[in-house]
Structure 1
Amino acid sequence: MTQRWGSLLLLLALLPVGARGENIARIDRLQPVALEQQAGQRAGLFSERRFEGDAGGMRVIGNGTWRVHPTPGVSQPLLVFYHPYTARVTVKDGSGAAPRRQDIFSAGLEPQYSRRALVFPLTGDGPVDVKVEGARYPLRVAVESAPAYAAADLWHVRLVLPAIGMVLGVSLAVLLFWAMLRDRVYLLYAGAMLFQLLYALCSYGEAYAWPGLSVLARFGAQGIWLSGSLATILLVLLWLDYAGLRQATPRLALAMRAVGVYGCGATLVLLLSPWPADKAWFPDIANALFLLTNAITLATLVVAWFRGQRHAAYVLIAWVPLLVFTMMRAFRFSGGERPEPWLEYGLPWVLAFTAVVLALGLADRMLTFRRERDRAKAHAERDGLTGMLNRAAIEHRLDWALIERPREHIPVSLLFIDLDHFKQVNDRHGHAIGDACLRAVTRVVSQQFQYGDQLGRLGGEEFVLVLSGVELHTAMRIGEEVCARIRHDCAQVEGVAVGVTASIGAAQARDGDTVASLIARADQAMYVAKRAGGDRIVAEEAPCEGAGLTEAPAGASVE
């Protein structure tokens, strides 16, 4: 799988970058910015302060009024502002038409293009006046030919949509798992991935063109901040449960929760509350919390991984590439530079990679829980001394065999085995030898197993052997063989002469039988064998009136 994702990134790296000339002769500032406004207003990697730009930065502009001089000769020119984020751009060309204003939240953008850029068709090669407001990052501006831009934009859509579909599909599938299993880690996964996707779509503006999501446009930048903060909170909660961080690293996990959940949650409350009215402080605070949360989370995951939490490795493999791509894109955008295709289109595919790897980790987590459940179930069903099925488990197996008997048309027989004079063995040689005798008997009886047979210990020295697909006369032969083997193989146990023998009662299931009735008939036959001196097998009383019990005496062979 790693090779496939690597091949995809290589393909993205080989895509055409596009024209680098930008088709702009020069850009002039028309409205200077006061020095006091410029102070502290530069773009940075983690700062979303208002970017003003300067006239010397060709093809990169910020807040203010500018005059763009396109290079003559561009066919069907488009004035394009890439990755505007929260910027509002107003354009007025020399045609005398009314100024046109756009931002990614606008409903009336050019419908034939995606929203990765604001696109203004131009009527000629003359200078164009541009007013930029609310820019928090540098805007890269270019003049592009309409056919060339449409072709590049189509490539953009073709590359991004499959990644979006993959994240959406995996998230919805995991959400269905939560609906069935009610394990909250599935809900956290689906919520975190969907809010990550929503944050990306809102940042690019694509969300506002989707049916049902266009309502988010009324919240403007606050809607982007809200979705990003919720994604961070859900990711922290997901990592805590997904990787078992509370158990592996309790103190670091507490720090993660304090910063990533409570800290981000407190800023969200202030963002949504009417006070303070000015929300310009939010991006810097949120980005600082984002950085601190990521640093603590990375340290916590590494420590948990070294302490043997295998699912922490899944998180590191899935999440670190996404974090690296996010930081690299922030570097490029903060400088107003055009990201290479592998970086621009790699991010949605890395998000898809994250979703897939985490889903594989969920599958591995499910298998781990299943194995633990099976081990716990097997432990609960087994007798601690002999390793055979306990009373509840063997009765359940017998009940299932009785249910399947009329459906599959197969006979079911039962051998009730009771060791003779076992109390004397315990009294004479001690309970340790008595326990060894029980284990020796289970080994002997197990040698008579066939497919579907089950041996269980009812308690003390009493055992039952469920024989599926066996008629009563065959069960009698098996029981006689069991008697003979116990007599021979259990004469000595751990070097002590104990002379263990067994009395066995045999019964075959009839119509209308229950577990209790079948065991009762086999138990009755066993007591007949014991009263006859033991070390023998006796069949149940025949159902026909007047029939008695069939006995196989000690040392006899039942044919």
Structure 2
Amino acid sequence: MLVAAAAPAQSLQLSRLDADPLPVQVLAGDFDGRFVAVSDLSMRELSRAPRWWRLTAKRDYPAGAQPQLVLRSPHLNKVEVWLPGSPLPLRRELLDADRSNSTRALVVPLDHGLAAGESLYLRVQSLTPLPMTAAIEPLAMVHRKDMAHVAWRTAVLTTMSVLAILAFGFWAGIGERSYLMLSLTLLAQLLYLVSYGGEARSIPWLSILVSDDPRVGRMFGLIAVLASNAFLAYYLSLRQTQPALMRVLTACNVAIGLLMLVTLTTVAPLVAVAANLVLLTGFGIVLTAGAIGAWRRQREAYFLLLSWSPVFVLTALRFAAVLGWWGNPEWMDYAFPVGFALGGLVLMIGLSDKLQQLRRDRDQASRQATYDALTGAMTRPAIEARLKTAVESAHKSRRPLSVVFFDVDHFKRINDEHGHRVGDQTLRIISLRTRNRLRTYDLFGRYGGDEILVVLPDTQLREALGVAENLRSSVNCRPLSIDGKLLAASLSVGVAELLHEETAEHLLERADAALYASKSAGRDRVTGHNATRVQELVS
């Protein structure tokens, strides 16, 4: 790129006249001695007043090669070009209705070529402080670069449009506010790019964005900065994690709001310089917050640094070009918008990753609320909800349903004599033994303390009594081994089958009554409750 930039500088010389005399005086050579050569081929102006420039050929440009004067990155500049021997200028600007080239440059054909020593005179009214670069290229090269420019810009603008639409769709679908903020940020950046790049002129309802008033583009640029600052602060949770930096960023946002008010009243180029300065400050704050977040292992910070660091560097280079600290290479015309597009893409991925992490945390919290940590059984709210659903399903399908209610005999004595840790181990082992005797679709929940509720779908009372006896025998068949001690344990069990149009609450009451009957009869037994009486199965 450095070699390519140096090549045209060897064959052309650009000079500037700090005045705006009459064209006839300039063309007559009256001011030739006052033109001052510049070091490169960039026309850079901070004033809106028209200025004269002279482009002198150091070698021949024959007409057979169809040479074209190319003024790259014209933005909103208005240019008048006097060819050698022509008394009338050719006028060019980005908003020309009859343009036949892309928006990357203003193109003037040199039909008669340009001999070594001949000069082109240009009268330029700069409406933006960004430099405009001059070159002479053959027509074939102009067409080739135009096609490449259209392809790049189409890809970038399409990518940003799709990302903005997707982000808005995600917000509409799941209600996550961060997606809406990202969508608005991308939309503001998109409008900034098409207003300065000139693509908006091809869309009737957007053509109002492309005018010779630079305040339109600046306003969209400032809105884009506000939107991106708000989104990034929300994305990194700066208000909670880094309140000091959040206050500084808020001050920058206030300064941007003041600049927006100033922009409405003046088109002075210094406003653009101040806006870029505040923009870089805001970017620096956000990147600092991202670096601190990355140091704290905040996952979102890694995505922010990956997406926003290139944008920060490219913005700094663009600001340096405005101030004249370096040239305006051709690749910057593409790198700047590509940086926005890739930044939006990475942030979209990062935002999706954040939501996925929130979903995993929610699922983990849901699991903790659903399953008891000690026994692995469902918690009381969870088993009650599942029982209610199972009862409704059984009534609709007219299928049988039974429940088994049991607790550990003399569990309080185990806690009192051996301590709560042994009591917890007792519950854990009993839960493991009993749950292993159930079918995969049976429901097993800790109802409270040492009480366990088992829901048996598609099971009649007779079969449920057999399951309950199997559970009882799984516990009293052998002692529990805890801390090198053998502890005897047994269960008292109550069983009930769902009756026609019976509620889940009434079914539980009957199972509890059967459990109480087992305890009253001496414990370590199973009792069934049918529609008319309590029936003891095992003594």
Distance 2:342 2:226 in 1: 20
Look up the SS of the partner of 1:213 in the other structure: helix
1:389-538 equivalent positions in 2, closer than 5 A: 389-405=378-394, 412-423=401-412, 434-489=423-478, 499-509=488-498, 512-538=501-527
1:3 alignment partner in structure 2? none
* Deviation, structure 1 residue 373: 0.9
Q: In the alignment, what sits opposite 2:254?
A: 262
Does structure 2 conserve the Cα–Cα contact (< 8 Å) formed by 1:248 and 1:309?
no
CA distance in 1, matches of 2:267, 2:18: 25
Please tell me whether residue 297 in structure 1 is matched to residue 286 in structure 2. Answer: yes
The alignment yields a C-alpha RMSD, in angstroms, of 3.7
TM-fit CA distance, 1:365: 0.5
The aligned amino acid for 1:173 is L
1:348 corresponding residue in structure 2: 337
Structure 1 residues 338, 291: CA separation in 2 closer, same or farther (over 3 Å shift)? closer
Partner of 1:115: 103
Shift of residue 361, structure 1, vs aligned partner:
1.0
Residues 66/218 of structure 1: CA separation in 2 closer, same or farther (3 Å cut): closer
Partner of residue 339 from structure 1, selected from 310, 329, 352: 329
Q: Is the 8 A contact 1:249 1:300 kept in 2?
A: yes
Structure 1 residues 137 and 130: CA distance shift in structure 2, 3 A: same
Residues 114, 206 of structure 1: 8 Å contact kept? no
CA drift at 1:212: 2.6
- Which residue of 172, 177, 182 corresponds with 1:179? 172
* Cα shift at 1:69: 5.7
Q: Which residue of 1 aligns with 2:238?
A: 245
- 1:72-126 CA-partner distances (Å, limit 9, x unpaired): 415555432110123221234479796454433x25250x422121233455447
Secondary structure of residue in 2 paired with 1:141: strand
Partner AA of 1:215 in structure 2? I
User: Do residues 86 (structure 1) and 76 (structure 2) align?
Assistant: yes
What CA distance in whole angstroms lies between the structure 1 residues aligned with 2:351 and 2:441?
34
Match of 1:236 in 2: 229
State the Cα deviation string for residues 397-425 of structure 1 (Å, max 9, x = none): 22233345577887543211133444555
**1:216 pairs with 2:209:** yes
Most deviating of 353-362 and 309-318: 353-362
- Partners of 2:477 and 2:38 in 1: CA distance: 103
Secondary structure in structure 1 of the residue aligned to 2:205: coil
Given the superposition, is the C-alpha separation of residues 336 and 476 from structure 1 closer, same or farther in structure 2, using an over 3 Å criterion?
Answer: same
Q: Distance in 2 between matches of 1:98 and 1:283?
A: 34
Q: Which moved more, 1:94-103 or 1:261-270?
A: 94-103
452 and 18 in structure 1: CA distance in 2 versus 1, 3 angstrom threshold? farther
Match of 1:164 in 2: 157
Aligned to 2:37: 55
Report if the CA contact (8 A) 2:214-2:267 is conserved. Answer: no
Q: CA deviation at 1:268?
A: 1.7
Aligned partners of 2:497 and 2:530 also within 8 Å: no
Cα distance in 2 for partners of 1:384, 1:114 equals 67
2:24 is matched with: none
In the alignment, is the contact (CA less than 8 A) between 1:17 and 1:340 conserved in 2?
no
Query: Which of 145, 149, 173 lines up with 2:142 in the alignment?
Result: 149
2:125 counterpart of 1:140: no
In structure 2, relative to structure 1, the CA distance for the partners of 1:517 and 1:76 (3 Å cut) is: farther
C-alpha separation between the residues in 1 aligned to 2:64 and 2:330?
24
Q: Does 1:551 align with 2:536?
A: yes
- Inter-CA distance 446–53: structure 2 relative to 1 (3 Å threshold): farther
Q: Deviations over 1:428-458 (max 9, x none)?
A: 6666655554444323322224323322222
Equivalenced residues, count: 513
Q: Does structure 2 conserve the Cα–Cα contact (< 8 Å) formed by 1:185 and 1:242?
A: yes
Contact 1:332–1:339 (CA<8 Å) still a contact in 2?
no
Contact 1:436–1:494 (CA<8 Å) still a contact in 2? Answer: no
Does residue 188 (structure 1) correspond to residue 181 (structure 2)? The answer is yes
1:351: Cα distance to partner? 2.9
Rate the CA distance shift 1:57–1:427 in 2: closer, same or farther, 3 A. Answer: closer
Distance 2:334 2:269 in 1: 30
The aligned counterpart of 1:65 is 52
- The alpha-carbon deviation at position 323 of structure 1 amounts to 2.2
Q: Secondary structure at the match of 2:75?
A: coil
- When structure 1 is superposed on structure 2, of 385-394 and 495-504 the one drifting more is 495-504
Aligned pair in 2 of structure 1 residues 412, 107: CA closer, same or farther (>3 Å)?
A: farther
Equivalent in 284, 307, 311 of residue 273 of structure 2 = 284
Alpha-carbon deviation of 1:325?
A: 3.2
Range moving further from structure 2, 293-302 or 383-392: 383-392
Indicate conservation of the 8 Å contact 1:413/1:475, yes or no. yes
2:106 is paired with a residue whose SS is: strand
1:230 maps to amino acid: I
Residues 492-519 of structure 1: CA distance to partner in whole angstroms, max 9, x if unpaired?
Answer: 7667787543222223445544322332
Distance across 2 between alignment mates of 1:18 and 1:430? 84
Which residue of the partner structure matches residue 193 of structure 2? Answer: 200
Instruction: Return 91-100 or 373-382, whichever deviates more.
Output: 91-100
State the distance in 1 between where 2:386 and 2:443 align: 8
Q: What is the letter of the counterpart of residue 137 of structure 1?
A: L
What letter is aligned with 1:318?
Answer: S
Instruction: Give the secondary-structure state (helix, strand or coil) at the position aligned to 2:79.
Output: strand
Structure 1 match to 2:220: 227
Q: Call closer, same or farther: CA 1:27–1:424 in 2, change over 3 Å.
A: closer
Give deviations 1:359-382, integer Å, cap 9, x for gaps: 221121011101111122222334
Deviations 1:165-224 (A, max 9, x none): 122212211111112222221122122222223222323222333343211124721122
Distance 1:109 1:498, change over 3 A: same
The 1-side partners of 2:316 and 2:35 are apart by 22
Given that 1:54 and 1:61 are in contact with CA atoms closer than 8 Å, whether structure 2 keeps it comes out as no
Q: Deviations over 1:13-45 (max 9, x none)?
A: 8xx9699548976556567479xxxxxxxxxxx
Aligned partners of 2:13, 2:397: CA distance in 1, in Å?
88
Determine what percentage of the aligned residue pairs are the same residue.
29
1:450/1:321 CA distance change after superposition, 3 Å? farther
The unaligned stretches of length 5 or more in structure 1 are: 1-12, 35-51, 555-559
Q: 1:149 to 1:335 in 2, by over 3 A?
A: farther
Helix, strand or coil at the partner of 1:142? strand
328-337 or 160-169: bigger deviation: 328-337
Q: Kindly tell me: are residues 122 and 389 of structure 1, through their superposed partners in 2, closer, same or farther at Cα, counting changes over 3 Å? A: same
Q: Partners of 1:329 and 1:207 in 2: how far apart? A: 22
Q: Which amino acid aligns with 1:82?
A: R
Q: CA deviation at 1:62?
A: 4.6
**Structure 1 residues 335 and 255: CA distance shift in structure 2, 3 A:** closer
Whether the aligned pair in 2 keeps the contact of 1:22 and 1:143 (CA below 8 Å) is no
Tell me how far apart the structure 2 counterparts of residues 347 and 399 of structure 1 sit (CA, whole Å): 60
Task: Note closer, same or farther for the CA distance 1:491–1:313 as it changes in structure 2 (3 Å cut).
Answer: closer
